[in-house]
A and B are shown apart, each in its own frame.
Chain A
């Protein structure tokens, strides 16, 4: 028996801690015989034998295949119910710090669905002039926005962009006959920066932050040297603070012979006001699923184009796209000292089409306004919440401290107020961090609701927080047992 109401008639409707006011939220919750929406495999399991009429001899085939065999109406219902048990940007505020969960304009979906976008990546350049023109134009747009001389669209995500950038730095030093083994990264940086440097074969030198939350110039001076391949930095940093000493930082790194890498995750703070290229960065990635509004898709796909200064352009991945010198069309070519490919084909093309459409729609004024409103929204929200925000002045995001509360518990409780909580417990420089990035897409009214949610939670006791969430599709999920006894497929449930 299926029960589609919000209360399953038992402990699901326990509502001891019902929020008293403001936006209330009950996420749809489907249950069946006391469990949530069944798995496809529980709805049907059909085994097909690979038989006599197979076009292959049986020593080249498997014996059988067992999968759910459901009709279209059943699947439509299954996935619709699953979608109802999922929270998206259009559901409500999504102030997840560092992730820039801004509104994803619907028309960009239609742009990506253009039938002429659906071409094979190995088509001759002459037969895909439209695609190459979009690529060339997006490269050009991004170059202008970041103050970079050349841009590749190939990396499929931010971390892949970092890897591309660090591989470029590596090739550049090697071409200069230098052997540099270290990448310097501030302790407040995103985990991908560290992992990327290690994956590319570098030793990571972690830089402690100064008291004001920014790069400690003395520590940097002590860290840079002949072994420095690059410093990876995001600006504003993960606390939302602009690295005011960026020119000195650049000089220190450049004087030591290193390169300056810009992690573009926070570019939404700066559009039209400052450009990494003008600050002395040599190589950067753009995070189009953040800054340029392409949907996050439950974790991906994104795209992480990489921009470089002139000197590094010969190292860009192949193929690169450019307008033909005689202006007759667009071509692919291999840059002189290319590091090779960083994606099997041309990256996440359909994501790039969306980004191109978004940038073209907004133009200079729209982009600049997006940043202005993102920064205004963050400041307004911070002003209205009771939690302390230890570092400032911040830009598009701020990191509040949950103080005596556990940030992860506070976040769970926020779910009951119909909002997605901030990123928690990172960066570690703030105790019980609530890293909050409302983006430009929230109205003043929804920021007020969001602030009300923060404030309600900040006034609640630990018992309430620990019992949260109560109004979501599932209640608090036990992380420990998930990891202790991993069950990662429906096959594993039968054991």
Chain B
């Protein structure tokens, strides 16, 4: 960012340009946007057509609020911006991440990048004109169907922003469902802070109380949950796998408890875990939320995509967009956004949610990733998440000064480990060795392993042995 231009010139068409030491074009002070194609003659003709002397004449802005300062942002050539991106982001340390806790890195097949980048998908808009958007609609319909299969629930929408906002939407849905009364939203005490804070944001408007119930050994403490429940409970939230990677063993009991108190049972998961772990519909889940971007995106600094699936009886209370089947004038099957009377552009303040722009393109990527894996590949990937976690925990447990896993449970992708050394020191020493892990307690780290970082497992175990 701070390179200094060493040469500059004015081009014949009046652009001021400058060069760096290697002669690379650094800045080009165009007189305009490179993506606004009107040339001077066109501009003049167009101004004449509308009867204006200048572009400025077209702005009906009172003098007193006109801006005549500068942003002081220099225009740059495409090459220069790309180099700046590379250099700036190049300041990120190149660490091999063994991190999860809600944001996962699975290898994304090239097919996903290639197909999703087709401009017809990437640059299109929400499908308000379905006749020219059949392709995207069908892909979203297929995504919804994949989620229906994975969750066993009858309806899945075509995306929320992320797992946290989907959880918030589930809480507000619990208020709109007639069979549920109460205002208490019960969540596990170990819920990830970020998720809980977003949930509280959604809970504030309708005056819902977000409260914790206890967990034991990384999963639901069923007696503790039973004690926390009363008829003011509107919703019980559990996760599988849990935030510490444990496979939840008491889902049936959680479902029954929620049901006994007429509370909505909301389960958090992701599409890889759903391919192997108990099917939410079979344990009485009313809503499934979670992070669909575990497939299709990879590490993206938290950019994700929220799952929202529920029972058919709540269909008209679902937030966000739904793609359905209809027919066209030729009688052929065709796809369209449907039940839009739930949505903000029609229902305004009575809408089920304010969401408009969602994560449709991520849903497309997730769907292509699922399709690329197929059912065999997806189940294999999920089983590997169990095997790899067990294997890595075993190997870390052999390191002196480390006990892993902390919880006596099956694990999926990740687990917690106890360290004799302070965890913060272990993590920072690991950084020096080229690895990143989560610190989750004074003497506790959390480690996540997938197909993406598996090849680095040996080096990682060596590094832990070095620093622990």
Contact = CB atoms under 8 A, between A and B. Distances in A.
A476 B277 CA distance: 42
Contacts of B321: 299
A121 to B, nearest CB: 3
Interface centre among A83, A94, A472, A479 (most CB of B within 10 A): A83
A324 to B, nearest CB: 14
Interface string A76-108: 101111111111111100101001011111010
A344 B206 CA distance: 20
Contacts of B36: 369-370, 373-374, 440-441
Given A131-B92, A367-B73, A474 B354 contact: no
Nearest to B338: A482
Interface in A276-326: 278-279, 289, 293, 295-302, 318
Given A300-B359, A351-B303, A482-B326, A122 B101 contact: yes
Nearest to B74: A363
Given A370-B33, A376-B47, A393-B58, A475 B131 contact: yes
B161 A160 contact: yes
A158 interface: yes
Contacts of A431: none
A30 to B, nearest CB: 10
Interface in A446-464: none
A426 B129 contact: no
B376 interface: yes
Contacts, number: 661
Contact of A105 (B32, B35, B336, B349): B35
Nearest to B331: A11
Nearest to B54: A372
Given A72-B372, A159-B356, A299-B126, A366 B75 contact: yes
Interface string B356-367: 111111101000
B10 interface: no
Given A60-B278, A90-B123, A35 B383 contact: no
Contacts of A89: 119, 123-124
Given A67-B374, A123-B99, A367-B73, A357 B164 contact: no
Contacts of B154: 488-489, 491-492
Contact of A347 (B66, B120, B156, B302): B302
Contacts of B195: 344
Interface stretch (A37-45, A217-225, A252-260): A37-45
Nearest to B136: A298
B415 interface: no
Nearest to B361: A297
Nearest to A486: B324
B344 A191 contact: yes
Given A46-B374, A490-B141, A157 B333 contact: no
B78 A474 contact: no
A347 B162 CA distance: 9
A130 B372 contact: no
A83 B32 contact: no
Given A118-B300, A301-B359, A88 B73 contact: no
- Which size class do A's interface residues fall under? 35 or more
Nearest to A145: B71
A129 interface: yes
A133 interface: yes
Given A72-B372, A159-B355, A361-B76, A384 B111 contact: no
B359 A120 contact: no
A99 B357 CA distance: 10
Interface string A53-71: 0111001111101111110
Nearest to B78: A107
A364 B126 contact: no
B431 A379 contact: no
Contact of B85 (A27, A111, A363): A111
A372 to B, nearest CB: 4
Contacts of A175: none
A48 B43 CA distance: 62
B357 A242 contact: no
Nearest to B169: A199
Interface string B92-133: 111101010111010001010111011111111111111111
B459 interface: no
Contacts of B324: 482-483, 486-488
A362 B117 CA distance: 23
B42 A444 contact: yes
Contacts of A72: 109, 111, 372
A350 B303 contact: yes
B4 interface: no
Nearest to A244: B62
A251 interface: no
Contacts of B136: 82, 86, 298-299
B145 interface: yes
Nearest to A156: B161
Contact of A360 (B84, B372, B378): B84
A476 B131 CA distance: 6
Given A66-B375, A415-B129, A489-B145, A479 B336 contact: yes
A180 interface: no
Contacts of A482: 324-326, 336, 338
Given A66-B375, A159-B355, A198-B350, A363 B29 contact: yes
Interface stretch (B180-188, B197-205, B224-232, B254-262): B197-205
Contacts of B71: 141, 144-145, 272, 363-364, 367
Interface string B327-341: 111101111101111
Contact of B141 (A119, A348, A353, A489): A489
A417 to B, nearest CB: 12
B247 interface: yes
A201 B205 contact: yes
B159 interface: yes
Interface in B169-194: 172, 192-194
A298 B72 contact: no
A96 B304 CA distance: 27
Contact of B75 (A202, A300, A365, A395): A365
A124 B97 CA distance: 11
B368 interface: yes
B126 A345 contact: no
B127 to A, nearest CB: 7
B39 to A, nearest CB: 9
A477 B326 contact: yes
Interface string B249-289: 10000000000000000000000000111110010000000
Nearest to B164: A344
A67 B356 contact: no
B194 A379 contact: no
A158 B338 contact: no
A213 interface: no
A39 B142 CA distance: 7
Interface in B134-180: 134-136, 138-142, 144-146, 148-150, 154-156, 158-159, 161-165, 172
A343 B301 CA distance: 12
Contact of B361 (A10, A62, A273, A301): A301
21 contacts: A10-B330, A46-B375, A83-B121, A86-B120, A86-B133, A91-B120, A121-B103, A128-B93, A157-B355, A159-B344, A198-B350, A301-B161, A351-B303, A364-B75, A365-B31, A372-B56, A376-B46, A393-B58, A474-B131, A486-B322, A489-B156
Given A141-B71, A370-B33, 9 more contacts: A36-B333, A109-B122, A195-B349, A278-B67, A296-B125, A298-B126, A298-B133, A360-B84, A373-B55
Per CB-CB distance, the 7 closest pairs between chain A and chain B, nearest first, are A345-B302, A297-B361, A363-B75, A344-B164, A121-B302, A299-B360, A201-B205
